[in-house]
Structure 1
C-alpha cells in the first residue's frame, strides 16, 4: 500500500466513525502533534496517547465533529491532507468551521509523525462561554 493509500484509508475510517481504523497507521513510536492554540494541543506518542488525548476528548466535547478532506497531496514520504473541520460544542451549542492541513511523514513505509496545522481561533471561540 502506498503512503497516500494509507492516509486515504485513515480518512475513509474517519468518515465512517471508525476509531480503530483511524488509529491503524499510528505505530507505537509515531508522534502526533496537535497545533499550539488548539484545545487538545500537544505532542502524543503512539495510538493509545492519541486516543486518550485527542479523539476521546473531541468525542466528549463536540457533536458532529468532522474533518472534510478537500485535497490529498502525495509528496512521497510526506502526505498532506487539506480540508475543513466542523462541529458543535456540546456545552456552548456553538458551531465552527476551520481550515486545516495535516502533514503525515513516513519512513520505510511507516508513519513516523502527524502534524496538524489549523486555524484554531474558530474552534476556541465555539468552546468559549459568552461573557
Structure 2
C-alpha cells in the first residue's frame, strides 16, 4: 500500500505532467477539499468530480498558465504538508500574480480524505481587478 506521502507526491507529479486523471486518482469519494475563503473558488467540495469542476476546471477557465510549484513536501505520517507557490495570469484583466501557499493533506484507509489550502488570497484577488 502507498504511504500518505507517496499519494500526495503522486498528485503533484501528475500536476507537473498536466495529468488530471493522475491528480484525482487517490482522492476518496468522500474527500473534503477546502479552498480558502477569499480565493476565487473558495468553498469545500466533496469527491473528485466536485474538486475537478469547482477547483481545477474553474481555475483553468479563469487563469492562463495557472501553476502550483512545489518547493517542499513534509511527511507527518497520515498528514502531509506541501509548501510552494501559485502563479498565473487572469484571463479577463491580463494581470499576473504569484502567491505563497501551503496545502495540508490527510490520508486514511489508502485514500486522500481531506485537503485544505492556505494562501495569500489578496495576491490572487489583485490580479482579478
Shift of 1:88: 0.5
2: distance between equivalents of 1:91 and 1:99?
A: 22
Unaligned runs of 5+ in 2: none
Shift of 1:119: 0.6
1:5-26, Cα deviation, whole Å (9 max, x unpaired): 1111100111111111111121
CA RMSD of aligned residues (A): 0.7
**1:88 aligns to what?**
89
Shift of 1:108: 2.4
2: distance between equivalents of 1:21 and 1:11?
A: 9
Aligned residues: 128
2: distance between equivalents of 1:20 and 1:127?
A: 28
TM-score normalised by the chain length of structure 2: 0.96
Unaligned runs of 5+ in 1: none
TM-score normalised by the chain length of structure 1: 0.95
Report the secondary structure of 2:73's partner residue. Answer: strand
2: distance between equivalents of 1:15 and 1:107?
A: 24
